[in-house]
Chains A and B, each alone.
Chain A
Amino acid sequence: MAANRHAAHDAEAEPEQPDYSVLTDTGLKTLEDAENLFSDFSPERGLLFDLPQITVDASGIEQVCRLAKTEPSLDLKMLHCLSCVDYEEHFQLVYFLHSLDREQMLVIKTNVPYENPVLPSVAGVWAAAEWYEREASDLFGVTFEGNPDSSPLLLYEGFGGHPGRKSYPFYEYREF
């Protein structure tokens, strides 16, 4: 751990074989079901600490989310959180989905290139996605194709740049 302490964290730098024993039975079943259901979208299984996680292609994110919501075995009716992370070479969108009836969460991740960050919107799947996506496009400049409203949400009209990005000047600090 000490060796890679200063290495930039990256999704690919995660340990090769995560320990799936931290998952509950429902969690493991959700992970397996999701992997089978999303087989058309090159799913990769993983773990987000103690939550099951699936990485899919950005182009298929809308179909994947629609499946996750409508499929009774997953039943992920709530989009709990949509988080955008700037990994400097690419952006990662992290969808935290929640099933209230089954009391289970599933994390769906997708990567978009830094130069042209465009992916389909999921605002048609969950109403909650509209504001999350507008926030992510404000702060990170990610474009969600199909979002009904593309005007800035948190920033004012005409604000220059995307302040969430690592490259946005903020203030200088050094690690000690």
Chain B
Amino acid sequence: MNAEPVEMLLNMGPQHPSTHGVFRMVLWVDGEKIVDVEPHIGYLHRGSEKLCEGEQYHQIITLFDRMDYVANFNNELVYCQAVEKLMGLAVPERAEYVRVILCELNRIASHLLYVGTIGLDAGAMTPTMFAFRGRERIQSLFEAISGARMMHNYFRIGGVKEDLPDNFEQMISDLLPQLKEDVEESDRILTFNEIFLIRLKDVGGISAEEAIDFGFTGPCLRGCGVEYDVRKAQPYSVYDRFDFDIPVGLDGDCWDRHWVRIQEMYESLKIIEQALQQIPGGEVVSSLGRRLIRPPAGEVYVRAENPRGELGVHLISNGTDRPYRLKVRPPSFCNLSAIKRLLAESWIADSVVILGSLDIVLGEVDR
């Protein structure tokens, strides 16, 4: 008996556990095959960019925490750097090291969250528990330093809020070996698991040219074989003082993106170890940064390597105590914009894994 092909409409989200937040996809399917996709974003749109125009420069740091809410320190860093660049403000060396250590820890925490969720997306429950245990350890350290597990509000224009706690050395020397174990565990349990390989290898592939065309950055771009990392290409903060590698994938499929993230965690651990050896003493915030901030009129564009890719900030000042315009270029926004291309001609079951491998955070997609 011959069945007529019938196109069906399948709605995924906005409250679907695999959409990593509030994201809705309308899939046109022919059997199990996806014919077309219509992504709907904007459920978390809070008008952050417009909000920034009404806040003083110091108050905006908290808004950046709430954009990419699993990589808060990295987000705060980009904003602070944009204002510092416009003002020509020098940051004390100790503060730069504190920032780098926290940003790299945050990168590991963010990638661990990814490892947990990609496991869930591929149907493995256990790695999630392991990954979240590692992430919890990092967050406990963050809480001891900044007072908050997630919305830290710790970086300041011209440095950081206050010096590290007295027992920081003890805490981090306890944490690092554990963290290394956690990363290795996540790596062992998933990366070369046979079922995981079948689910991710040769799924959701994209060529380097197309990836650049869609504005891919971060692990998604490096998974395609493009060796590009802002920390190496345009070193900011003190990243030029560390020795680390850029992991690069081959085929640009889901597994390559996964592998790049796993390797990045090892590289981050290397950076943290070097930073802990090099960290000098002294002030942690420039005295200018404590005052009411009025950058001179002008425009600046700053970008930095976040766990999800390059976060860009286009800041326009008119010389007052509030920015005239602040445009954020979120990495997830560009990575997600290719979802139509990635899902075309794939299977419904793969759509969940492909979306998971992009590692989006809807807070920064919608702003």
Contacts and interface: CB of A to CB of B under 8 A. Distances in A.
B287 interface: no
Given A77-B212, A152-B42, A49 B301 contact: yes
B312 interface: yes
B325 A86 contact: yes
B65 interface: no
Interface string B279-299: 000000000000000101111
A104 B280 CA distance: 33
Interface string B72-95: 000000000000011000000000
A175 B314 contact: no
A154 B318 contact: no
Given A9-B319, A83-B314, A100 B228 contact: yes
A173 B54 contact: yes
Interface string A4-36: 111111000100000000000000000000000
User: Chain B: interface residue count, which band?
Assistant: 35 or more
Nearest to B330: A81
Contacts of A170: 50, 53-54
A127 B213 contact: yes
Interface in B93-145: none
Interface string B295-337: 0111111010000001010101111111011010100011001
Contacts of A107: 301
B165 interface: no
A81 B314 contact: yes
User: Chain A: interface residue count, which band?
Assistant: 35 or more
Contacts of A131: 333-334, 337
A60 interface: no
A103 B234 contact: yes
Contact of B301 (A48, A128, A171): A48
Contacts of A126: 213, 215
B258 to A, nearest CB: 22
A126 B50 CA distance: 26
Nearest to A99: B212
Given A9-B297, A48-B299, 17 more contacts: A8-B318, A9-B318, A13-B297, A48-B301, A49-B300, A77-B212, A81-B301, A83-B327, A85-B316, A85-B324, A94-B314, A96-B314, A103-B234, A105-B301, A127-B214, A163-B47, A163-B50
Interface of B: 41-42, 45, 47, 49-50, 53-54, 85-86, 209-210, 212-215, 226, 228, 233-234, 294, 296-301, 303, 310, 312, 314, 316-322, 324-325, 327, 329, 333-334, 337-338, 341, 366-367
6 contacts: A8-B318, A9-B317, A80-B303, A96-B301, A127-B215, A168-B50
